Amino acid sequence: MAPGQIAGFRIYYRLRHQENYEVIRIESPSTTRLSLAEMAPGAYEFAITTVDTEGLESRRSTPVTVDLI
């Protein structure tokens, strides 16, 4: 996908013991950082997708785990 076709991103996250993901929608393609300071401590799993200008969403990335303390 060309840079001009990217409309934003979706970050899927959950505590590792939970079944369902929550979603953070990033509406700007120039956003490259997200602070996790507001999140409660815990063991999380994160994955990201890209959304194009037509609203189509890519497959999720391979999940990464993060332990927030």
Nearest Cα to Cα of residue 50 among 28, 65, 33, 34: 28
DSSP for residue 57? B
Q: Is residue 2 scored above 80 in pLDDT? A: no
CA 34, chain centre distance (Å): 9
Q: Which residue in 26, 13, 1, 19 sits closest to 68, CA to CA?
A: 13
User: Model-level pTM greater than 0.85?
Assistant: yes
For residue 21, the 8-state DSSP code is P
Count the domains in the chain: 1
- Residue 41, domain CATH: 2.60.40.10
pLDDT digits (tens, 9 = 90+) for 3-62: 789 999 999 999 999 999 999 999 999 999 999 999 999 999 999 999 999 999 999 999
Token pair, residue 62, equals 């391979």
Is residue 1 pLDDT above 80, yes or no?
A: no
- By residue range, what is the domain housing residue 44? 3-68
Q: Tokens 């001009």 identify what position?
A: 4
